[in-house]
Structure 1
Amino acid sequence: MQYRFGDKIKFIPAFILVCFLLIPSFAMAGHGDAKPVKKGILLAAFGSSMPEAQASFDAIDKAVKKAFPGVPVRWAYSSSIIRNILAKEGRNIDSPVMAMTKMMDEGFTHVAVQSLHTIPGEEYCGILETVKAFEGMPKGMSKVTVGKPLLYSNKDMQRTVKAIISNIPKDRKAKDAVVLMGHGTHHVANIYYPASQDYFSKVDPMIFVGTVEGTPSLDDVKVLLKKNKAKKVYLMPYMSVAGDHARNDMAGAEADSWKSELTKLGYKCVPVLKGTAEFPQVLDIWVDHLKVAFKHLGDH
C-alpha cells in the first residue's frame, strides 16, 4: 500500500495496518494503561433496616437483571444511618463510594448508576456528585452515567400517577380517600410533592399527598379530607419501600402516627404496606431510566 505526498512516495507496512484493524475496543485509563471495556450496573437506594422492605429491593433486583441479562449488578445504600444499623446486625451494605471503589478495583470501566430515589433531592444529588468523581480518575473508569430518579419529567409524573392508582386495593370505593405518605425534604426538590398532588387530583380528586418531613404536611391532608367529606381512608407509602416511616409513622399504633391521628378524627383507616417498588409499573419507570443511562455509556 502506498500514498503520494507531493513527489515523494511513503510506504506503510501492511502488518502495521493489520495491527490497527485488529485492536479490540479498549477503555483508556490514566497513565496510558489500556483496559478492556467492562460494563456494570450499580443500584443506589436510600436503604432500609426493616426486613419487610427487602421485598421491594428484591423486586428491583429481579427487574434489572431481567432487562440487562449478563450485566453484573451491584448495590449501595446512600443512608449512613441505615448502613450502620445493618452493620450492627451483621449485614454490611456498601455506600455509593465504597461500591464504586470496589467496582473500579474489579476492572469495571463503564458503570451505569441507577438512583432508586423518588425525587431528585439531596440523596440523588449526592450520588450524582459522588459517582461522577470516578469518571476519568487515573486507572479508574472511563464513563459513568446516572439514571434519573422515579419522578423527574412530566412523563414520569404521569406514569407514576397511573401506576399507583392501578395498585390501590380493588375494594376501594370512589368516595373513599387515599392518602399517600411521601418522605419530604428541605431540598428544593420537595416541590415534587405538591406537584404530585396536582397530578393526582386531575385523575382522582380523592387522592391526597402528604409528607413526613416536608410539605404538604398531615395537617394539609386533614383539611382536604374534611373538605371532601371522606369517611374511609386508605393509607399508602409514596416511597419505594414500606419501611420504618410506613410501618411506624404512617400505620403505627403510636398516638402520633397518621393512622392514629386520623382515627381520632373519625376516619376509618386502612393501611396498605407496600412500597412503590413492589408495583411492576413503577419498576418499569426506573428500568427505563436505567436503559437510557446504560445506552449513554457507549463503548469507549
Structure 2
Amino acid sequence: MRVLSSIIVITALLCIPLSTQAAKHAEKKEARTAIVLASFGSTVTEAQDAEAAFVREAEKRYAPTRVVLANTARMVMAKNAANGIVIPSLFRALADLADQGYTRVAVQSLQLIPGAEYDGIAAVAKAQEGLPKGLEKIGLGAPLMASNEDCEKVAAALIGSLPKERKAGEPVVFVGHGARHGIGGMVYPALQWHMANRDAKIFISTLEGTPDRETTLKALGKPGAKKPVLWVAPLLGLAGDHAVNDLYGGGEDSWKSVLTKEGWQVKEAFTPLYGVPAIREIWFDHLDAALLALKNDALQ
C-alpha cells in the first residue's frame, strides 16, 4: 500500500511542470491581436464616409483580425457625439480592447507626417502598454511620410490622382496642413523636391508651415491677362473643414479666393488622400510592418 502511495505522489509531482507548461502554452495561444486606425476625425459627412471606407478596406484586408477606428481630435469627437456619432478616442479604444481580452494591438497612425498629432498617438500607446491585466504589447505604424522613400511614393501617387481633365502645363498646388516646428515640418519641402523631379508645374504648400502661401504664389508667378487654369488639391487625409473652408470656401482668405483675385481660373481637384488607393497602400505597408513586429515579439 505504501508503494502504491509513493507511486501516486511521484506521478503527481512529475505532472506539475507539465501542467505549468501546458498552461503557459494555452495562455500564449489565447493571445489576441487587434488593429486600431487612428484618424484625426471630422464633422463633415463625406469625410466620415471616407473614414468608414478605410476601415472596411482594412477589415477585408486583415480579416478576421478586429479593426477599430479611433479619433484624436477632442473637439471633433465632442461635436460628433452631440449628433449621435460616437467614435472613441485612442485611449478609450485601447482600454476597451484590453477589457475585451485582446493582448496585442497594432495602432496605425493615419497622420501624414511625424508631427505633434503623431507624437500624441505614440504617447497614448506607450501609456497603455504593459499595464496589469491590460495590453501586453502595442505596435505603432508610421505616418504616411516617415521616410524619403515614402515621400517619393507619395509624389507618384499624388500625380496619379489628378483629374484626367488637367491639360499639360497647367499648374497644380497641393495644400496640406503643415507643421511649424519639428521634423514633421521638413517633410513638405522634401515632397516638393520629389514632385519637382516629376512635374515642375506641381507645387506643395501648407496652411501653417513651409512652404507657405506667399512662397507658393511667388513660385507660380503672375498669371497674366488670360486667366489661365490652376488646380488646387487637398494634401489632407480627409476633406474636412480645412478643405471645405480654407481651400475652397467663399471667404476672402481662402486659397480659391486669393488665387482668383491674383488672376487664376481655379479648378478643384477634390480628392483627399484617404480616397487615393496608392496612398492607402503606403499606410497599409506601415501597418504590415507594425503587425510583423508584434508577431516577431510574440515569438521571442
TM-score when scaled to structure 2?
A: 0.89
Which string of whole-angstrom CA distances, capped at 9 and with x for unpartnered residues, describes residues 257-283 of structure 1? Answer: 101110111111111222111011001
Decide which of 42, 55, 59 is 2:53's aligned counterpart: 59
Which string of whole-angstrom CA distances, capped at 9 and with x for unpartnered residues, describes residues 197-251 of structure 1? Answer: 1111111101111111112111111111117989211111101111111111101
The answer on 1:263 being equivalent to 2:260 is yes
For 2:97, the equivalent position in structure 1 comes to 103
For 2:228, the equivalent position in structure 1 comes to 231
Do the aligned residues in 2 keep the contact of 1:206 with 1:228 (CA within 8 Å)? no
Q: Kindly provide the amino acid, as one letter, of the partner of residue 56 in structure 1.
A: A
The answer on 1:247 being equivalent to 2:244 is yes
The structural deviation recorded for 1:62 is 2.3
Aligned residues: 284
Q: Kindly provide the amino acid, as one letter, of the partner of residue 277 in structure 1.
A: Y
Pair 1:70–1:260, CA change in 2 (3 A):
same
For 2:215, the equivalent position in structure 1 comes to 220
**Structure 2 Cα separation of the partners of residues 114 and 147 of structure 1:** 4
Do the aligned residues in 2 keep the contact of 1:40 with 1:112 (CA within 8 Å)? yes
Secondary structure at the residue paired with 2:195?
helix
Higher relative contact order (CA 8 A, sep 6+): 1
The answer on 1:279 being equivalent to 2:276 is yes
For 1:73, the equivalent position in structure 2 comes to 67
For 2:19, the equivalent position in structure 1 comes to 19
The structural deviation recorded for 1:13 is 6.4
Contiguous gaps of at least 5 residues in structure 1: 1-9, 28-34
**Structure 1 Cα separation of the partners of residues 106 and 80 of structure 2:** 25
For 1:41, the equivalent position in structure 2 comes to 35
The structural deviation recorded for 1:54 is 2.2
For 1:94, the equivalent position in structure 2 comes to 88
**Structure 2 Cα separation of the partners of residues 196 and 56 of structure 1:** 24
**Structure 1 Cα separation of the partners of residues 40 and 123 of structure 2:** 16
The structural deviation recorded for 1:136 is 1.1
Pair 1:121–1:219, CA change in 2 (3 A):
same
Do the aligned residues in 1 keep the contact of 2:77 with 2:87 (CA within 8 Å)? yes
Secondary structure at the residue paired with 1:198?
helix
The answer on 1:201 being equivalent to 2:196 is yes
Identity of aligned residues (%): 36
Q: Kindly provide the amino acid, as one letter, of the partner of residue 273 in structure 1.
A: F
**Structure 2 Cα separation of the partners of residues 25 and 285 of structure 1:** 36
Q: Kindly provide the amino acid, as one letter, of the partner of residue 191 in structure 1.
A: M
Secondary structure at the residue paired with 1:26?
helix
Which string of whole-angstrom CA distances, capped at 9 and with x for unpartnered residues, describes residues 165-212 of structure 1? Answer: 101001212210110010012231111111111111111101111111
Pair 1:154–1:184, CA change in 2 (3 A):
same
Which string of whole-angstrom CA distances, capped at 9 and with x for unpartnered residues, describes residues 131-185 of structure 1? Answer: 1211111111111110000000122111111111101001212210110010012
The structural deviation recorded for 1:104 is 1.2
Contiguous gaps of at least 5 residues in structure 2: 1-9
The answer on 1:134 being equivalent to 2:135 is no
**Structure 1 vs Structure 2 CA RMSD:** 2.2
Deviates more, 1:111-120 or 1:239-248: 239-248
For 2:117, the equivalent position in structure 1 comes to 123
* Larger helix fraction of residues: 2
Q: Kindly provide the amino acid, as one letter, of the partner of residue 61 in structure 2.
A: A
**Structure 2 Cα separation of the partners of residues 44 and 246 of structure 1:** 20
Q: Kindly provide the amino acid, as one letter, of the partner of residue 163 in structure 1.
A: A
For 1:4, the equivalent position in structure 2 comes to none
**Structure 2 Cα separation of the partners of residues 12 and 150 of structure 1:** 57
For 2:7, the equivalent position in structure 1 comes to none
Pair 1:205–1:12, CA change in 2 (3 A):
farther
**Structure 2 Cα separation of the partners of residues 252 and 121 of structure 1:** 26
Do the aligned residues in 1 keep the contact of 2:113 with 2:143 (CA within 8 Å)? yes
**Structure 2 Cα separation of the partners of residues 88 and 17 of structure 1:** 55
Structure 1 stretches (4+) deviating beyond 4 angstroms? 10-14, 227-230
* Larger strand fraction of residues: 1
Which string of whole-angstrom CA distances, capped at 9 and with x for unpartnered residues, describes residues 120-139 of structure 1? Answer: 10000111011121111111
For 2:78, the equivalent position in structure 1 comes to 84
